[in-house]
Structure 1
Amino acid sequence: MHIAMVSAECAPIAKAGGLGDFVQGLARELARVGERVEVILPAYDVLRFDALERPRPLGIELQVPFGGESIACPVLGLSLAGYECRLIAPRSAHGFFERGRIYGEPDDAERFAFFSRALVEYVSRPESRPDVLHCNDWQTGLVPVLLAERRTAIGRIPVCYSLHNVGYQGWVEAELLARVGLDAARLLTPERLADPGDPRRANLMKGGIAAADAVNTVSPRHAWEIRNTEQGMGLQPWFQRYGYKFGGILNGIDETVWNPLTDPLIPANFGPECLERKALDRHALRARLGLEEAADRPIIAIVSRLDRQKGVELIAHGIRYGLNAGAQIALLGSAIEPAIAERFAQLKSRLETNPHAHLELGYDESLAHLIYAGADLILIPSLYEPCGLTQLIAMRYGTVPIARRVGGLADTIRDANYSSAPFESRNGYLFDEPTTESLEGAMDRALGLWRDFPGYFSRLRLNGMLGDYSWRRPAREYLALYAYAREASGVGASSRI
């Protein structure tokens, strides 16, 4: 089956967060089991090729109508691990993807609307037409809408639409719909694209949900939450309306990247059979961050975007509480919102001389690997979490999560004390309320086990390391979802399924 995955991100060349890891991991696994996979991205000026080959011209030049213009748009190609990557590279004074970063521009809606329009031009070519098109998040929410509007001209292309963060829905002015060739007056209705909170604006995610053949989010628990609680961010009735084609598939992690036995970015490789070698990575982490050697202090890690979704108030409190409780703190994270960035810059300054804390404000891939390998515990107090890769990676590296019981965190972490699962399946600590008291209770339980019952704590580490967090099961579920999308579209199931 020819699967085209369209996204704003794909690791390692274009990664701003978990979406990049998702696309890379799923694409690799689908390619491994024999599917033909093509990932389609914007040709950002910040693409990272490192040891990879440089993109090559494919001899394809799209003419993309946009706002009364026809913008020439060459398509470049790049071979990744078992699959092909296609880069949409417009030649335009707009400089859509020449901004020095992936997101965060005032005209992000316009940039990704253009990308969606160019993508539709690309897949409309007979030689580029996929068996199924897999769109991701609001940046590609217009793609199902554009394909549905052009169905009589190009026929049906089955579409699966994955939602990674419902907090960002793609709210745009009606004029942008006209710029990509859509009839805004006809589409800006409650039944189509009109935003529930402001019917004068279009909601791209809402439109994509309506037009796609199959829709999912990235954990079963989060699928329930956004359908039935305020975590639906105003789209709860929409998820209920389209419940027949909506569900949750838990993410995996790419075990070729995240494997402590083979990871080239950590000084000492280790696994369940040689867990004692993790102590060497703990020593290396302390040396790199300037933390004092302290056998009586566990290292609590935070590896996270610093934004409101991730519970920044609880992160800041957890840092202070952990230090007061006799732990060490290693934080790696960055903030886009100026107020949050300033708050953590001030906290970093206050802790600069503390021998038990280091805050690294930014992102460093090699440091992330070392933190996962060297830490004892990791703090994940998210207000909502569609899936979360942090806890999966941490457990793979024998680092025990302390997390809020939401979304994929609840689906993957079984509490050491309060779980019906047998002890050999328990792998972390959960708390329910987004309060400092609830967080402190979970931290106290975790630190108490580390100090008073080290043998049980080691068993908890091992339980996490022995879990299956690979993409094998999720990939099978996505193949079934693609088959559903093909049947729902009227194209019919692939012969491989």
Structure 2
Amino acid sequence: MNILFAASEVAPFIKTGGLADVAGSLPQKLADMGHDVKVILPLYEGISQQYRDKMRFLFHWNCRLAWRTPYCGVFELREGNISYLFVDNEYYFKRAEIYGHYDDGERFAFFSRAVIETPAHLDWHPDILHCNDWETALVPIYLLEERERIWQLRGTKSVYTIHNIEYQGRYGDQIIQDLLGLHPGYMNEHMLAFHGDVNLMKGAIYAADYVTTVSPTYANELQYPFYAHGLEGVVADNRWKMRGILNGLDVGLYDPANGAGLAAPFTADDLSGKAACKRALQQAVGLREDPNVPIIACVSRLVKHKGFELVADAIHDIMGMNVQMVVLGTGEWNFEEAFRQAQAQYPGRFAARLQYSAALSTAIYGGADIFLMPSLAEPCGLSQLIAMRYGTIPVVRETGGLRDTVIPHGVFGDTGFTFANINARDMVWVLGEAVGLYHNDKEGWRVLQHNAMTKDFSWNSPAREYEDVYYQITGIPRPIEPSLEAAPVPAAEPSVQAEPEADPIQEKKPAAVKKAAVKKAAPKAEKKPAAKKSAPKAEKKSAPKKAAAKTKAETPAPAKETPAPKAEASAPVKETTAPKAEAPAPAKESPAPKAETPAPAKETPAPKAEAPAPAKETPAPKAEAPAPAKETPKSRT
């Protein structure tokens, strides 16, 4: 199917967080599965020249945004089997930072309008519009407006993914017409209204055909005020179309075996290269070179909801252990200052790098021993996945995707350590357990590393789940896989089912009735030869009599049993006491005496083989009526 994936950042072109990693790897996996995928994002100033040189200009038009008609250009960059579309407008996107501007609402409203109008200029029909977070929250709403106006969007369905519900795109209600170009009815109907303001994420949740979150646990947590940030009621209203799908990881990009960005490559079965990576990390950040001391690492934005209040409060307790520690990231000034002071107080044991560096983060993942991630709330988290991929054991709080991905120590298949309460003492206690295992049980530590490194965090399963969502809301049937088409099982099923169709009927009847069933099959085959003699005349006389006493199903049987008119008159009286299952039998068994009842038991093993035998005996005179039961065994020999 055709999929248009819209995101405000996409790796490797521009990145500030986990959204870029998802937008860079999920579309690639969907394209590898055979879908026609296009990814659309703004053309920021921060996109490097090496990518700009590969772009080609497609077209431009004046985009309609309320009363404005700003210029909108589209550039394309082809990478493998994906088309990346860059929306160009220097007034909105030629800025040093991606987010944090006073007019972010207008900037991303323009981008959302560009997403909706681009398919018409491409003359390409997307089956799915997949948008992400508040920056593209207006896309499902605009789709409601334009679905019937733009024929390329007819039948298009929208999927909205919540990566972090804390950022909702909330603005004053005066923007509804002047900035967004929407009817005030969206406020009156409460699709966008939120305590008197406009809430773009709320509108997207209601307007989208399906809503996903980035982990199953996070989807459940959003029902509670602590995690939902005021939208718990909205989530409850839309639970029927919401689902948590765990994020995957680009295992080709994050692979210690290829040694990219590392001092030496290593694998789950050969960890010798990790020692070289550890030594290189200690040299790079100014830690004392000591291969026997575990390094605790943090790579994150230094903000409260990431749990750094717990780290700042317990920093002296942590450094009281025989450990080293390195912190990489930027954020709130109080946390940055706490880590600067710790570096001064513990020289050679604590390193604070208050910056963002992709190269240094890779070196930390590869060289550290323990990865600390005490988030208060974590929708999914990719850092713990990357750490496990590099054999760095995570210590995390049980929330969101951290709970879904880290199996606590002591459980079968364990990959790390976890704690549940938002408490610095609990965090320090679990860190102590991890440090103790590192020092006292080298073999157990190696098993933990091996489990973490070999766990499957690829996009294979998550992409399949997104496919299920796409097929469900569009109604497009999933194509049958070649492996299923070649399976021999369906071809063998008819022959297996052929016998059960006859067996249930025969098993319910007694032996005498089974014989009747055999004889009933024979007259049907004899219709053509039996028409030569007296059978037609008998049909006119006997069939009406039996139609009055028996059911309609017995009408064809008398045509073959007519040679015994007197015996048939009395026989039905004896047969009336039989169960309902024997109703069709009397017409054929009426001439047989009671002594013949055990004989049919011999005929039952070959119901189909006996069918032609009675055809040879039918011309016999009346006195020979009981004979067929005795002669049929001889004919078989």
- The question of a shared fold, defined as TM-score above 0.5 by the shorter chain, is answered with yes
Q: Residues of 2 paired with 1:327 and 1:184: CA distance?
A: 60
Q: Is the 8 A contact 2:307 2:376 kept in 1?
A: yes
Residue 30 of structure 1: aligned partner? 30
Deviations 1:61-83 (A, max 9, x none): 12112242211111011123531
1:96-495 aligned within 5 A: 96-125=92-121, 127-154=123-150, 155-179=154-178, 182-189=181-188, 191-195=190-194, 198=195, 200-335=196-331, 340-345=332-337, 347-352=339-344, 354-417=347-410, 419=411, 422=412, 425-487=413-475, 492-493=476-477
The letter of the residue matching 1:71 is: P
Shift of 1:47: 1.1
Distance (whole Å) between structure 1 residues aligned to residue 180 and residue 440 of structure 2: 66
1:88 aligns with: 87
When residues 233 and 330 of structure 1 are mapped into structure 2, their CA distance, relative to the original with a 3 A threshold, is same
Structure 2 counterpart SS, 1:334: coil
Q: Specify the code of the residue in structure 2 equivalent to 1:376.
A: D
What is the CA distance between 1:376 and its match in structure 2?
Answer: 0.3
In structure 2, the CA distance between the partners of 1:75 and 1:66, relative to structure 1 (3 Å rule), is: same
Asked if 1 retains the 8 angstrom alpha-carbon contact of 2:278 and 2:291, the reply is no
Q: Is the 8 A contact 1:263 1:269 kept in 2?
A: yes
The separation in 1 between residues aligned to 2:79 and 2:188, in whole angstroms, is 41
Structure 2 segments unaligned to the other structure (5+ residues) = 482-637
Residue type at the aligned position of 2:465: E
- Identify which range, 243-252 or 109-118, moves more after superposition: 109-118
Whichever residue aligns with residue 219 of structure 2, its letter is A
What pairs with 1:31-70 in structure 2 (closer than 5 Å)? 31-48=31-48, 50=50, 52=51, 54-70=53-69
Equivalent pairs counted in the alignment come to: 477
Q: Distance in 2 between matches of 1:260 and 1:239?
A: 39
Q: Deviations over 1:351-397 (max 9, x none)?
A: 14610111111111111111000000000010100100011110010
The answer to whether the 8 Å contact 2:312/2:335 transfers is no
Letter in 2 for 1:347: F
More divergent stretch after superposition (184-193 vs 282-291)? 184-193
When structure 1 is superposed on structure 2, of 294-303 and 175-184 the one drifting more is: 175-184
1:350 Cα offset (Å): 4.6
Task: Give the TM-score of the pair, scaled to structure 1.
Answer: 0.92
The CA distance in 2 between the partners of 1:496 and 1:393, in whole Å, is: 34
Counterpart-to-counterpart distance in 2, 1:37 and 1:4: 6
Output the CA distance in 1 between the equivalents of 2:480 and 2:13. 30
Conserved 8 A contact 2:371-2:395: yes
The 3-state SS of whatever aligns with 1:77 is: strand
Q: Which has the larger radius of gyration?
A: 2
Structure with the bigger percentage of strand? 1
Q: Secondary structure at the match of 1:12?
A: coil
Q: Report the CA distance shift for 1:81/1:449 in structure 2 as closer, same or farther (over 3 A).
A: farther
Quote how far apart the aligned CAs of 1:181 are: 5.2
Is contact 1:300–1:327 with CA below 8 Å preserved after alignment?
Answer: yes
Distance 1:495 1:455 in 2: 47
Instruction: Indicate the larger mover: 149-158 or 1-10.
Output: 149-158
Q: 1:174 to 1:364 in 2, by over 3 A?
A: same
Q: 1:180 to 1:152 in 2, by over 3 A?
A: farther
**Residues 161 and 216, structure 1, Cα contact 8 Å, conserved in 2:** yes
Shift of 1:241: 1.2
Q: Structure 1 residues 263-272 or 400-409, which shifts more? A: 263-272
Note the C-alpha offset of 1:495: 5.2
Q: Distance in 1 between matches of 2:227 and 2:37?
A: 32
Within 2, Cα distance between the matches of 1:126 and 1:366?
38
Alpha-carbon spacing, 1:310–1:112, altered in 2? closer, same or farther (3 Å): same
Q: CA deviation at 1:183?
A: 3.3
Q: Does the Cα contact within 8 Å between 1:333 and 1:362 map onto a contact in 2?
A: yes
Partner secondary structure for residue 30 of structure 1: helix
Q: Distance in 2 between matches of 1:43 and 1:214?
A: 28
What's the CA shift for 1:237?
1.6
- One-letter amino acid matched to 1:486: T
2:6 is matched with: 6
Secondary structure (helix, strand or coil) at the match of 2:193 reads coil
2:394–2:417 contact (8 Å) kept in structure 1: yes
Q: Give the counterpart letter for 2:21 in structure 1.
A: D
The answer (yes or no) to whether the contact 1:174–1:184 under 8 Å persists in 2 is no
- Measured in 2, the distance between the counterparts of 1:40 and 1:64 equals 16
Q: Alignment partner of 2:258: what SS? A: coil
The alpha-carbon deviation at position 342 of structure 1 amounts to 4.8
Query: For residues 118 and 176 of structure 1, do their structure 2 counterparts lie closer, same or farther at Cα, with a shift above 3 Å needed?
Result: farther
CA gap of 1:156–1:126, structure 2 versus 1, over 3 A, is farther
Query: Where do 1:9-20 residues align within 5 Å?
Result: 9-20=9-20
CA contact (8 A) 2:214 2:379 kept: yes
Q: 1:299-346 CA deviation, whole Å, 9 max, x = no partner? A: 0010111122211202323543322212111111111xxxx2354145
> 1-side partners of 2:300 and 2:400: how far apart?
16
Q: In the aligned structure 1, how far is the partner of 2:115 from the partner of 2:259?
A: 35
Identity %: 35
8 Å CA contact retained: 1:175, 1:184: no
Q: CA deviation at 1:15?
A: 0.4
Evaluate the alpha carbon distance shift between residue 482 and residue 263 of structure 1 in structure 2; reply closer, same or farther with a 3 A threshold. Answer: farther
Q: Secondary structure at the match of 1:291?
A: coil
Superposed CA deviations along residues 16-36 of structure 1, whole A, max 9, x for unmatched, are: 100000111101211222222
Shift of the alpha carbon at 1:496? Answer: 7.4
For residue 494 of structure 1, report the CA deviation from its aligned partner.
6.3
1:179-198 deviations in whole A, cap 9, x for unaligned?
Answer: 45543420013641111xx2
SS of 2:291's equivalent in the other structure is coil
**Equivalent residue of 2:201, what SS?**
helix
Contact 2:66-2:181 within 8 A present in 1 as well: no
Q: Structure 2: how far apart are the matches of 1:33 and 1:319?
A: 47
Q: Do the aligned partners of 1:217 and 1:248 also contact (CA within 8 Å) in 2?
A: yes
Structure with greater helix percent: 2
CA contact (8 A) 2:302 2:335 kept: no
Partner-residue secondary structure (3-state), 1:401: strand
TM-aligned CA distance change 1:131 to 1:180, over 3 Å: farther
